[in-house]
Amino acid sequence: MQWLPWEDAAYAAAGSAVATRVLARRVSRAARAVSAWTRELTVMFGLYGLWQLAGGLSLGRARGAIATGRSIYRLEHRLHFPSEAAVQHLFLPAHGLLRVLNVYYVVLHVVVTGVCLVWVFARHRDCYPVVRNTLALSTGVSLIIALIPVAPPRLVPGLGVVDVGRLVGPTVYPATARPGLDQLSAMPSVHVAWALVIAASLVYVLASPWRWLALAYPAFTLTVVVITGNHYFADGVVSVVVVALAGAASLRFSRGGSPAAWPRMRRARSRPASRPGSDPSFPVRV
């Protein structure tokens, strides 16, 4: 299974940008509504293309990635983290479950992230800039950290972690003797970072007390990336720090202000939406 190449993402971003430009010249309400979507598609395809392109970049040599992976594993041991190999071995006999987890690792986490973005944009547009900027910032910082190559547990000899993508499939990585740089970006986990952004978004935009159940999603994602042998537990810890800083920065420089403003914003969103033109200070949900 393969990701959408960065070239195709660039073409999609260019097409969305042209559509936005054309629609911006029209005065109809429908054109303005569609242009809002195409503008965000331009941003998302552009960020996705950069993410794919950055996967092949590195500030170090690939041969040092295994040593760095071993260093992370030893640090985890000193800090009494759970063993990735011990956790994975509990699930190795269940090949059907492993295939499902591989599919989630390869495809579904992107689909879930996209669905969440569309939902927030359509139903909670006043909150969308914070969500989008948090996702963009956390992804960008993760890519900068990933410029230092780190081999995932499945590629570090002696750790006892199996490459379940090779074992039962599917996998996005080609079967080569020497792994590419895209496989040597274990630290931090973008999968966990995106799952954290989704969970934080649900907590942020919803008022129901059940919204806190969303925190189970990043916990599940961390379990998946460990069982599949693609990340260390430490990768998830670093992702938490990255997303927390990105979210704080997005809130600080958005209309919402600081986290102290969350209760006021939630109370405002719980009121009935204003009719167009009745209160220009409060955005109407779409």
Three state DSSP letters for the chain: CCCCCHHHHHHHHHHHHHHHHHHHCCCCHHHHHHHHHHHHHHHHHHHHHHHHHHCCCCCCCHHHHHHHHHHHHHHHHHCCCCCHHHHHHCCCCCHHHHHHHHHHHHHHHHHHHHHHHHHHHHHCCCCHHHHHHHHHHHHHHHHHHCCCCECCHHHCCCCCCCCHHHHHCCCCCCCCCCCCHHHCECCCCHHHHHHHHHHHHHHHHCCCHHHHHHHHHHHHHHHHHHHCCCCCHHHHHHHHHHHHHHHHHHHHCCCCCCHHHHHHHHHHHHCCCCCCCCCCCCCCCC
> In terms of domains, do 36 and 67 share one?
no
**What is the average per-residue pLDDT within 55-72?**
77
The pLDDT > 90 percentage for the chain reads: 45
User: CB of 221 within 8 A of CB of 213?
Assistant: no
Task: Tell me, yes or no, whether 277 lies in a domain.
Answer: no
> In terms of domains, do 39 and 66 share one?
no
User: CB of 184 within 8 A of CB of 151?
Assistant: yes
CB atoms within 10 A of CB 212: 12
Task: Tell me, yes or no, whether 184 lies in a domain.
Answer: yes
> In terms of domains, do 204 and 173 share one?
yes
**What is the average per-residue pLDDT within 151-169?**
91
> In terms of domains, do 143 and 45 share one?
no
**What is the average per-residue pLDDT within 98-103?**
94
CB atoms within 10 A of CB 184: 26
- Determine the pLDDT at residue 93: 94
- Determine the pLDDT at residue 20: 83
Q: Is the pLDDT of residue 92 over 90?
A: yes
pTM comes to 0.80
- Determine the pLDDT at residue 102: 93
- Determine the pLDDT at residue 281: 38
- Determine the pLDDT at residue 284: 35
Task: Tell me, yes or no, whether 148 lies in a domain.
Answer: yes
pLDDT band of 154, cuts 50, 70, 90: very high
> In terms of domains, do 49 and 142 share one?
no
Q: Is the pLDDT of residue 185 over 80?
A: yes
Where in the sequence is the domain holding 16, given as residue range(s)? 1-54
> In terms of domains, do 113 and 27 share one?
no
**What burial letters (b/e) apply to 213-240, b meaning 16+ CB within 10 Å?**
ebeebbeebbebbbbbbbbbbbbbbbbe
Task: Tell me, yes or no, whether 138 lies in a domain.
Answer: yes
Final residue before a domain boundary, out of 54, 71, 93 = 54
> In terms of domains, do 201 and 255 share one?
yes
Q: Is the pLDDT of residue 255 over 50?
A: yes
Task: Tell me, yes or no, whether 115 lies in a domain.
Answer: yes
> In terms of domains, do 50 and 66 share one?
no
> In terms of domains, do 110 and 49 share one?
no
Q: Is the pLDDT of residue 282 over 50?
A: no
Q: Is the pLDDT of residue 278 over 70?
A: no
> In terms of domains, do 164 and 194 share one?
yes
**What is the average per-residue pLDDT within 255-264?**
48
Q: Is the pLDDT of residue 208 over 60?
A: yes
Task: Tell me, yes or no, whether 278 lies in a domain.
Answer: no
> In terms of domains, do 46 and 76 share one?
no
- Total number of domains in the chain: 2
> In terms of domains, do 169 and 236 share one?
yes
Quick: pLDDT tens for 220-234.
Answer: 999 999 999 999 999
User: CB of 6 within 8 A of CB of 52?
Assistant: yes
**What is the average per-residue pLDDT within 90-109?**
92
Dihedral sign, Cα of residue 154, residue 92, residue 4, residue 205: negative
Task: Tell me, yes or no, whether 279 lies in a domain.
Answer: no
Task: Tell me, yes or no, whether 284 lies in a domain.
Answer: no
Q: Is the pLDDT of residue 52 over 90?
A: no
- Determine the pLDDT at residue 163: 92
Q: Whole-number mean pLDDT of the chain? A: 82
- Determine the pLDDT at residue 264: 45
Nearest to 145 by CA among 107, 108, 187, 175: 187
